[in-house]
């Protein structure tokens, strides 16, 4: 947004924060209620914007964006006082009389950089965490989903405290200018390459970050899996939002002895979900831009099309597509697909699966379909991922109590529910020690250095 003085915006929010206005539980509850009200009263605006940006139907828009944010704000408000309550911890007897506790103090002014694939949730779900933690924030929605970004910018000032919250529209120049400011926290959702840029900018001021970076989420279909159920759930997780989901299955590792029947079940699941002509389905989304469309169409040559492959550039339509005979060094296996193309690769053993996963960067999600629990636990024990689901996929962010986030290449930091509150607060240990009883009174003269040497000997062993 040309002409904006970003330093002045940050300074205004920081002064408001330093005044103590955002700390009281009452202010936080009011803002969470206001956010929930905004998502309820302005729902139609957000539905319309996401339909035009992404062809997102209302069921999916509620599941992942509009109602999702409203519910998350309500959940945070309901649990906020419990989260804020200081935790009392035990104090060594030799320090008596004293007591110790852990406070959860706000970090300060945060920057939230959203993503276009879930343009409401990925801009406003971190805002729920910021509010719960007692922090002001500047929100930078993705310019790629431009109509949804405008809806956020239009409505946030009408509902939330303008002294604490601002929305900045724009692209790379605006984001770059924002990153030059001094922040107390940065939250970014996107890919690893831009995540490194964000982290480099944050490092200049040692600013804490939460990075949600996605990745190539492997999905294992073991011989013991219920193939029909697995195919149906994978189809839902992969092709919702036309595959533009960071938690979606990126590729399937199916055991050879069940590969053929699984592929047939997967094909039937796609047809059942979107019909024989998915371009006419009111439930099937569109690729967000022609640039992303062209990238995805180029990936179709990475293997043999088992099902789908139809595309229409003018409509930004790419059909749900299953690829087989995919070489591991093909382009579709070198980057996160982030679209409606699903490579299916045959494997021969659990050891091969584990080796395959560990040879690649840590994914955001790992999905295992198996009726043999020991197989699932064996894979979980031998691999790493941000999250994991057994016998389902993609749905883990819907559970408020679960920490959501990546590890290694797929990100750092967790949020949602109490985990988001913790991400936006400083766990501050405080010792309250009395001066009424002091060893120096009984054994004069007794320096503080001598007192501390004595305490070292009296404190309980950590071994």
Q: What is the dihedral of CA 256, 258, 261, 264, to 10 degrees?
A: -60
Interior angle at CA 135, CA 133 and CA 141, nearest 5: 110
Provide the sign of the torsion angle of the four alpha carbons 121, 127, 130, 134, taken in this order.
negative
Task: State how far the Cα of 107 lies from the Cα of 127, in Å rounded to an integer.
Answer: 14
Are the C-beta atoms of residues 218 and 253 closer than 8 Å to each other?
Answer: yes
Separation of CA 227 from chain center: 29
As a whole number of angstroms, the distance between CA 218 and CA 230 comes to: 14
Phi and psi, residue 412, nearest 5°: -155, 150
Q: Annotated catalytic, 246? A: yes
Q: Which of 45, 72, 212, 336 is catalytic?
A: 212
Q: Are 99 and 73 in contact (CB under 8 A)?
A: no
**Dist CA 281 CA 326 (whole Å):** 28
> Checking phi first, is residue 242 left (phi over 0); if not, alpha (psi -120 to 50) or beta?
left
Give the Cα separation of 40 and 456 in Å (integer).
58
Q: Are strands 304-307 and 321-324 parallel, antiparallel or unpaired?
A: antiparallel
* 212 is annotated as an active-site residue: yes
Q: Which residue out of 72, 180, 228, 246 is catalytically annotated? A: 246
Cα separations (Å) of 340 from 297, 313, 321, 322, 366?
10, 14, 6, 9, 18
Angle at 321 between CA 319 and CA 324, to 5 degrees: 160
Q: What is the DSSP string of 325-385?
A: S--TTSGGGTS---SSEEEEEEE--HHHHHHHHHTSPPPSEEEEE-S-HHHHHHHHHH---
> What's the alpha-carbon Rg for the chain, to the nearest Å?
25
Hey, how many other C-beta atoms are within 10 angstroms of the C-beta on 280? Answer: 10
State the catalytic residues.
Answer: 212, 246
């Amino acid at each position: 947004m040309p002409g904006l003085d970003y330093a002045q915006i940050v300074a205004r929010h920081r002064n408001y924060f330093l005044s103590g206005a955002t700390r009281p539980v009452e202010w936080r509850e009011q803002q969470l209620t206001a956010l929930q009200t905004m998502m309820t009263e302005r729902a139609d605006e957000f539905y319309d914007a996401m339909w035009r940006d992404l062809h997102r139907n209302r069921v999916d828009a509620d599941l992942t964006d509009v109602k999702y944010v409203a519910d998350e704000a309500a959940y945070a408000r309901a649990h906020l006082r419990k989260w804020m309550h200081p935790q009392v911890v035990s104090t060594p007897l030799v320090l008596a009389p004293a007591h110790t506790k852990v406070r959860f103090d706000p970090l300060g002014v945060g920057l939230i950089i959203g993503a276009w694939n879930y343009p409401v949730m990925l801009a406003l779900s971190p805002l729920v965490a910021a509010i719960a933690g007692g922090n002001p924030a500047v929100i930078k929605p993705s310019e790629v989903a431009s109509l949804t970004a405008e809806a956020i910018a239009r409505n946030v000032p009408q509902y939330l405290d303008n002294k604490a919250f601002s929305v900045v529209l724009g692209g790379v120049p605006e984001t770059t200018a924002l990153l030059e400011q001094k922040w107390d926290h940065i939250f970014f959702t996107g890919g690893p390459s831009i995540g490194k840029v964000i982290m480099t900018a944050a490092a200049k001021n040692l600013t804490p970050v939460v990075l949600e970076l996605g990745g190539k989420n492997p999905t294992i279909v073991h011989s013991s899996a219920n193939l029909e159920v697995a195919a149906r759930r994978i189809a839902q997780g992969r092709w919702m939002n036309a595959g533009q989901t960071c938690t979606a299955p990126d590729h399937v590792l199916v055991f050879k002895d069940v590969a053929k029947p699984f592929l047939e079940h997967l094909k039937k699941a796609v047809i059942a979900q979107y019909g024989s002509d998915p371009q006419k389905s009111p439930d099937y989304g569109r690729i967000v831009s022609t640039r992303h469309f062209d990238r995805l169409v180029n990936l179709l040559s990475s293997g043999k099309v088992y099902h789908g492959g139809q595309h229409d550039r003018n409509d930004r339509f790419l059909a749900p597509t299953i690829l087989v005979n995919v070489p591991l060094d093909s382009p579709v296996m070198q980057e996160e697909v982030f679209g409606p193309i699903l490579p299916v690769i045959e494997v021969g053993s659990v050891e091969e699966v584990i080796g395959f996963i560990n040879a690649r960067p840590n994914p955001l999600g790992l999905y295992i379909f198996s009726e043999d629990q020991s197989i699932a636990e064996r894979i979980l024990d031998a691999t790493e991922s941000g999250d994991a689901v057994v016998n389902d996929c993609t749905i883990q962010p819907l559970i408020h109590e679960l920490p959501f986030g990546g590890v290694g290449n797929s990100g750092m930091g967790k949020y949602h529910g109490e985990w988001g509150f913790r991400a936006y607060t400083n766990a501050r240990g405080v010792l309250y020690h009395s001066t009424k009883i002091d060893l120096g009174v009984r054994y004069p003269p007794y320096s503080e250095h001598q007192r501390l040497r004595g305490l070292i000997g009296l404190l309980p062993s950590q071994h």
